[in-house]
Each structure stands twice: as C-alpha cells, then as structure tokens.
Amino acid sequence: MSSGSRNLGFRYCVVEPPEQLLKAGVIAARVRDESRELVRSGASCREICEKLESRIVELGASPAFPCNISISHIAAHYTPGIRDDCVVGEDDVVKIDVGAEIEGYIADTAVTVSLSEKHLGLVEASRAGLEAAMRVLKPGVRLYDIGKAVESAVRARGFKVIKNLSGHTIDRYTIHAGISIPNYADRAAWIRRIQPGTIFAIEPFTTTGRGYVVESSTVNIYAYTGKGARKAVLGELESRIMDYIESKFKTLPFTPRWLPSNMGSPNEIESALKLLAKRGILHAYPVLVEAGRGVVAQSEHTFYATKSGVIVVTDREQPEL
C-alpha cells in the first residue's frame, strides 16, 4: 500500500532477515504473479480480491491488508466494500497491490496489468522506475538518490511520477512505519539513508495526468491506530467491532467486508466505522484518484537491508542486490 509523507525516525530490525519475512515475501510474490491471470475484461473486482486474499491464506500467511485493485485513474486504496464492487473494462489499467503477513512480518508488492496496448508504455515506465531504484540500492543509500533514480527513468519515457504517493518503511504489524521513500528527487529526503535492518517498500506510481492524487469520499479500508479505544465511550456495536479488530487484525489494515455479517447491517457497520475513525480510534484510507484523471500504473517490491546488501523480499528467488 502507498504511503503519505510522514517523517519520523527509522525503526531498526535485526540485521539478518527474519525467516517469517522471507516466507511472507515468497508468498506475496507468488500471489502477485498469479493475479495477472485473473485480470480480464468483465471480471468482478470483488472476486479477484477475494481469490487473492484466500490464496495468501492457502499458502500459509495472512493478508497484510485488503487486496487493492485500483483501476485506471484510481491510483490506490480501492478494495470492494460491503456493498460496492467494480468490473474490469476492456481498456482498463489495473493495479493489484497485495501483502502477506506472518507473525506481523509484512511483505508488500504490486503489479499493473494493462488490457489496452496504448497504456503499455505507462506500465513499462513504472517498472523501469522500480528497476532504476533497485540499481542504486545499497545499505546507506540516500532516499533522495532512490527518488531521483525513479523520476529520471520515468521522465525518460515521457511520463510523470505521482509525487504525493511514495514507498515506505515497514515495521512488525505496521505497514507504514513512518518514513516515506520518494518517487522523485525530494530535497527533504537528502540526509535520510537506508540502514541495515530496515524493511522498506519502493513503489513508483506513473501517470499521464497531473502527477498528484486527491482523496475521494470512498473509504473501504481502515486500521486500528492503537489509541483511544478503551478511553472513549463506545456504543455496544462499536465496542464489539473494536474487540474483533484488536483480536483479529491488531494494527493491520482491514476492510468492512472482513467483519462478520452477523455483527450488524451494512449501514450499521459502516456508520460505526466512520464514528470510530472520527474519534481517531481507526485510521481511514480514502480511495486516491489522480487529480487530472490521468491513467496510473504502479510497480512495487519490498526490500530488506543487511550490512552487505539489500534483499528483494518479494522476488520469488530473493536475490541480494
């Protein structure tokens, strides 16, 4: 999943990669690659997401967040809700963003499938941006240099990066751990460097539009912030929802369609989640759309920095760069 631009301190992990992370990476990579076969004209977005989420479980992990399926000018954070769905069109550009989690260790990866030849260059620009970033990766690399490499590769192909979407560091049970990894030469990222023990995702978003996203009114993904649930005065339904969220998802993102159907009506559940978000107990992830309604493509890998190199966690072979 994409990140905003919060700038906190790095949170270090052990220098050798946890086995749970490596296993989650292989599972996420496999499911990402299998997703290509599901993207076809007329396919239900709900069916695609549910198949991929189930596949993650079959392979021995849990979804780290709801499968994101963001089509054409929708850049990120769309997953079908309790009642809404979408259908893939014959000319659509479909971004599939999946994550696998084992004991809180998260692997996050994405691929774009274009059903129209006219957008293949846009998709290739996103892949090229990711590959350019990978060529400069090493322990101690500046985040500025990563972003510069991405932007240069994308511009050389005639497209723009989306500047207010970025990669991110990852912690245990935390998909966005506080540090944003830019997709452009951001001077604010000049002094920050990738340190050994860091888990991080790089995800270039490319577009034919203005180069930035805005929030829509649709929210189908939430996450527990870890704050306020026991201090707030909650109603019966809100309390039951929070008990379920804390036990089932902890601080990982979830979607209302993952909640038990006997918990309440769709209207009741959606209203309760909005209230919990308003009180700061839940974090809401609005669907993000390209400001000029340009088409958007995305590529993403998760990485782990050791003292000697950088492991591509979401590569099926997991080579060290």
Q: Which residues are catalytic?
A: 97, 108, 168, 176, 203, 300
Question: Which residue(s) pair with 312 in the sheet?
Answer: 303
Residues 138-162: pLDDT tens digits?
Answer: 989 999 999 999 999 999 999 999 9
Whether residue 79 contacts residue 67, with contact meaning beta carbons closer than 8 Å, is answered with yes
Give CA–CA dist 1/299, Å, rounded: 11
Task: Convert the pLDDT of each residue in 194-212 to its tens digit.
Answer: 999 999 999 999 999 999 9
Q: What's the rounded mean pLDDT across residues 266-281?
A: 95
Q: Beta partners for 106? A: 101
Mean pLDDT confidence for 279-299: 97
Q: Tokens 């780290």: give the residue.
A: 64
End-to-end CA, the chain: 23
* pTM, rounded to two decimals: 0.92
Domains of the chain: 19-216+289-312 (3.90.230.10), 219-285 (1.10.10.10)
Give residue 57's Cα distance to chain centre.
18
Residue 73 vs residues 197, 205, 216, 301: alpha-carbon distances, Å: 35, 11, 12, 22
Instruction: Using the Cα atoms of residue 182, residue 30, residue 176 and residue 46 in order, give the sign of their dihedral.
Output: positive
Q: How far apart are CA 206 and CA 298, in angstroms?
A: 6
241 within 8 A of 258, measured Cβ to Cβ: no
**In this structure, what DSSP letter does residue 140 have?**
T
Asked if the model's pLDDT at residue 99 lies above 80, the reply is yes
Banded pLDDT at 13 (limits 50, 70, 90) = very low
Q: What is the pLDDT of residue 12?
A: 40
Q: Calculate what percentage of the chain has a pLDDT beyond 90.
A: 86
Q: Which helix (H) or strand (E) holds 207?
A: strand 205-207
Which residues lie across from 179 on neighbouring strands?
7
Which residue carries 């935390």 as its tokens? 174
- Report the 10 Å Cβ neighbour count for 40: 13
What local confidence, expressed as pLDDT, does residue 2 receive?
A: 74
